[in-house]
């Protein structure tokens, strides 16, 4: 028995327990089933982790390079699982963007519509995973381990959207009616299934509102101990949060200066705020429909793939396609990436959650397309999925360290500016605003969860303590987010402690690593190959793999 065999065996057993994961990674045959999200299902996962961790420890750390990576990655994956069980994290796993409720909704977004029976089966039984999830949250409530009230309210609102008259679930009935396989019986079954799923979602919202919410704490911050544990999980390295907080404020000040200078290149007679207003309202700088927006972004990504293949990157053939889509309503605002299926029959895709708007300013979305698509997440995840010769299947399909993943994606925004693809000052300003948003995340996230004061020398409310309103104000004034988007973002940071800093902290680590690698005589393409060739790893392990 070696580390690869153990890792594969663990993954096989895990996939048996998680049909949703099978759908997410494109493994067919279980698209009609749901995970058991109740206490019994969680205990099965914990027992599985304990068993395989014991076997890995008994095996011992191998000496061969990639087997050692397999051993370390699998052990770290299992250890993180067990920490979540041991600290009761799954009993309060409820937030506005990355908790089981959102996963249940998102898996339906990528469900294969060629098999309507599977979709109907999942919709008709939507109460099953929600009932299990509710039982787990109820166990947490009885033990006094609860999500914060702000997160509960956010999920209630999302569940109400899913259950409402304008539910995005109705698109399945529309798509079926327009398909070649439509029959009256199928349509009737679909309508019944959608009705059942909406009813289940409404019941879940009722439970959260009437039973869970009254006991949920009003405090958003999680405190230093829980925060440091979370950052270690997201980054794959230890940080000093107070030093990182001070560094983050330095980044905010420096980026503000760069934004002011770049705005003068667009219109030297206007202030930064006025230039942003111009870029956000000028019809010539906007797309005027979802279709126009999607086409514009798809073309930018297509050109980048064509131009950079063989120069900055070696792009595997299956990774050269990336789709651009508009997300169904009801989720947190912003853009996100969905990975391809394991065999690439379902390509990777970038999704924009637009809040229903029909006019799309482009100045701050071009760098986002590179971040979420190519050469950001799409290239990063796609390359890893092609490396079956030295990365375990678990590593390729499931392991994700935001410090590495989001750090790389943010790094590629800067890289695309260096390579000349932000070909208008307004797109450079968009990239700087994206960097500013991530710098603001550092100070908001650490400051809010550790209850740190804003520095006395800051230009923003010096000496004050963080509140939700101050955090929203920072994002609107410094990162130029719309008010609803800023509120959604701050809710995200408060409900997902430690994740928000991974972008900027990960980028910091990758830039420092690039400087050291190039200083030793390496070239840029080789640096990219080594970073991407490592697969998703913690930042400490990434440094070892790139520099060895």
pLDDT tens across 273-318, in order? 999 999 999 999 999 999 999 999 999 999 999 999 999 999 999 9
pTM of the model: 0.91
Closest among 44, 18, 41 to 31, alpha carbons compared: 18
d(CA 199, CA 146) in angstroms, rounded, equals 25
Q: Are 126 and 200 in contact (CB under 8 A)?
A: yes
Average pLDDT, stretch 3-10? 96
Give the pLDDT of residue 337.
92
If DSSP states are collapsed to H, E and C, what string results for 330-367?
CCCCEEEEECCCCCCCCCEEEEEECCCCCCEECCCCHH
Give the pLDDT of residue 353.
85
Q: Cis (ω within 30 of 0) for the bond into 375?
A: yes
Q: CA of 114: how far to CAs of 124, 326, 472, in Å?
A: 18, 20, 43
| Residue 405 predicted with pLDDT over 90 | yes
Closest among 308, 328, 425 to 373, alpha carbons compared: 308
Long-range Cβ contact pairs of 123-126 (< 8 A, separation 24 or more) = 123/169, 123/172, 123/190, 123/193, 123/194, 123/196, 123/197, 124/189, 124/192, 124/193, 124/196, 124/197, 125/34, 125/196, 126/34, 126/196, 126/197, 126/200, 126/201
| Residue 225 predicted with pLDDT over 80 | yes
Average pLDDT, stretch 361-382? 96
Q: Are 232 and 238 in contact (CB under 8 A)?
A: yes
**pLDDT tens digits, residue range 460-516?**
999 999 999 999 999 999 999 989 989 999 999 999 999 999 999 999 999 999 999
In whole numbers, what is the pLDDT of the chain averaged over residues?
95
Give the pLDDT of residue 331.
62
Q: Tokens in use for 321?
A: 């396609």
Q: Tokens in use for 148?
A: 């914060």
Quote the DSSP letter at residue 213: G
Give the pLDDT of residue 327.
86
Closest among 335, 324, 325, 329 to 356, alpha carbons compared: 329
**pLDDT tens digits, residue range 78-92?**
999 999 999 999 999
- Sign of the C-alpha dihedral computed for residues 490, 491, 492 and 494 taken in this order: positive
267: CB partners within 8 A, 6+ apart: 274, 275, 278
Q: Tokens in use for 87?
A: 């600290």
d(CA 22, CA 1) in angstroms, rounded, equals 25
The number of beta carbons lying within 10 Å of the beta carbon of residue 365 is: 20
Taking the alpha carbons at both ends of the chain, their separation in whole angstroms is 27
Give the pLDDT of residue 439.
98
d(CA 367, CA 284) in angstroms, rounded, equals 19
d(CA 152, CA 469) in angstroms, rounded, equals 18
**pLDDT tens digits, residue range 184-199?**
999 999 999 999 999 9
Give the pLDDT of residue 55.
97
d(CA 177, CA 170) in angstroms, rounded, equals 11
Half-sphere exposure of 225 toward its Cβ, with a 13 Å CA cutoff? 1
| Residue 181 predicted with pLDDT over 90 | no
**Adjacency order of strands within the sheet including 348-353:** 322-326, 348-353, 334-338
User: pLDDT > 70: what percent of the chain?
Assistant: 99
- Sign of the C-alpha dihedral computed for residues 283, 284, 286 and 290 taken in this order: positive
d(CA 348, CA 146) in angstroms, rounded, equals 35
Q: What is the total residue count of the chain?
A: 548
If DSSP states are collapsed to H, E and C, what string results for 124-161?
HCCHHHHHHHHHHHHHHHHHCCCCCHHHHHHHHHHHHH
4-8, 26-30, 413-417, 421-425: lowest mean pLDDT where?
26-30
Give the pLDDT of residue 462.
97
| Residue 114 predicted with pLDDT over 80 | no
498: CB partners within 8 A, 6+ apart: 227, 230, 231, 233, 234, 235, 445, 449
User: Which is it for strands 286-287 and 322-326: parallel, antiparallel or unpaired?
Assistant: unpaired
Rounded to 5°, angle at Cα 419 from 313 and 315 = 15
d(CA 471, CA 479) in angstroms, rounded, equals 11
| Residue 358 predicted with pLDDT over 90 | no
Quote the DSSP letter at residue 212: I
| Residue 332 predicted with pLDDT over 70 | no
Quote the DSSP letter at residue 320: G
Q: Are 306 and 372 in contact (CB under 8 A)?
A: no
Average pLDDT, stretch 333-360? 87
| Residue 330 predicted with pLDDT over 70 | no
Average pLDDT, stretch 119-140? 98
User: Which is it for strands 286-287 and 334-338: parallel, antiparallel or unpaired?
Assistant: unpaired
Q: Look-up: residue for tokens 């007679």? A: 269
């Amino acid at each position: 028995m070696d580390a690869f065999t153990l890792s594969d065996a663990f993954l096989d057993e895990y996939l048996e327990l998680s049909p949703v994961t099978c759908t997410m990674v494109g493994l067919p045959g279980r698209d009609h089933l749901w995970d058991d999200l109740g206490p019994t299902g969680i205990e099965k996962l914990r027992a599985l982790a304990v068993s395989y961790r014991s076997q890995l420890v008994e095996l011992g750390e191998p000496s061969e390079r990639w087997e050692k990576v397999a051993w370390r990655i699998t052990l770290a994956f299992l250890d993180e699982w067990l920490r979540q069980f041991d600290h009761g994290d799954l009993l309060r796993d409820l937030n506005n963007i990355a908790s089981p409720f959102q996963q249940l909704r998102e898996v339906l977004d990528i469900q294969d519509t060629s098999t309507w029976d599977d979709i109907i089966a999942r919709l008709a039984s939507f109460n099953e995973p929600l009932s299990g999830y509710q039982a787990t949250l109820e166990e947490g409530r009885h033990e006094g381990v609860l999500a914060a009230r702000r997160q509960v309210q956010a999920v209630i609102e999302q569940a109400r959207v899913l259950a409402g008259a304008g539910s995005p679930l109705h698109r399945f009935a529309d798509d079926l009616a327009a398909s070649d396989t439509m029959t009256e019986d199928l349509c009737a079954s679909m309508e019944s299934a959608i009705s059942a799923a909406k009813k289940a979602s409404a019941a879940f919202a009722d439970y959260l509102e009437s039973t869970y919410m009254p006991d949920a704490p009003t405090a958003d911050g999680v405190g230093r101990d829980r925060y440091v544990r979370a950052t270690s999980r997201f980054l794959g390295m230890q940080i000093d949060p107070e030093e990182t907080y001070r560094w983050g404020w330095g980044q905010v000040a420096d980026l503000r200066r760069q934004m002011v200078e770049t705005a003068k290149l667009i219109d030297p007679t206007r202030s930064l705020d006025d230039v942003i207003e111009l870029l956000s309202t000028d019809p010539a700088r906007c797309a005027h429909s979802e279709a126009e927006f999607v086409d514009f972004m798809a073309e930018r990504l297509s050109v980048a793939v064509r131009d950079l293949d063989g120069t900055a990157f070696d792009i595997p053939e299956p990774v050269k396609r990336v789709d651009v889509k508009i997300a169904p309503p009801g989720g947190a605002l912003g853009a996100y990436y969905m990975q391809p299926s394991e065999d690439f029959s379902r390509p990777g895709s970038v999704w924009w959650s637009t809040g229903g708007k029909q006019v799309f300013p482009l100045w701050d979305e071009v760098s986002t397309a590179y971040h979420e698509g190519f050469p950001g997440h799409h290239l990063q995840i796609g390359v890893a999925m092609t490396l079956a010769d030295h990365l375990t299947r678990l590593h390729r399909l499931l392991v994700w360290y935001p410090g590495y993943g989001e750090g790389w994606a943010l790094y590629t925004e800067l890289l695309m500016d260096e390579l000349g693809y932000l070909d208008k000052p307004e797109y450079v300003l968009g990239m700087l605003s994206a960097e500013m948003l991530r710098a603001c995340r550092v100070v908001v996230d650490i400051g809010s969860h550790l209850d740190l004061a804003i520095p006395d020398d800051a230009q923003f409310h010096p000496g004050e303590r963080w509140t939700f309103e101050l955090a929203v104000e920072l994002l609107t004034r410094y990162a130029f987010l719309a008010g609803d988007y800023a509120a959604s973002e701050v809710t995200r940071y408060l409900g997902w402690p430690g994740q928000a800093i991974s972008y900027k902290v990960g980028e910091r680590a990758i830039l420092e690593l690039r400087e050291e690698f190039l200083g030793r005589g390496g070239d840029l393409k080789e640096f990219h190959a080594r970073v991407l060739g490592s697969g998703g790893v913690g930042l400490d392990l990434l440094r070892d793999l790139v520099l060895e």
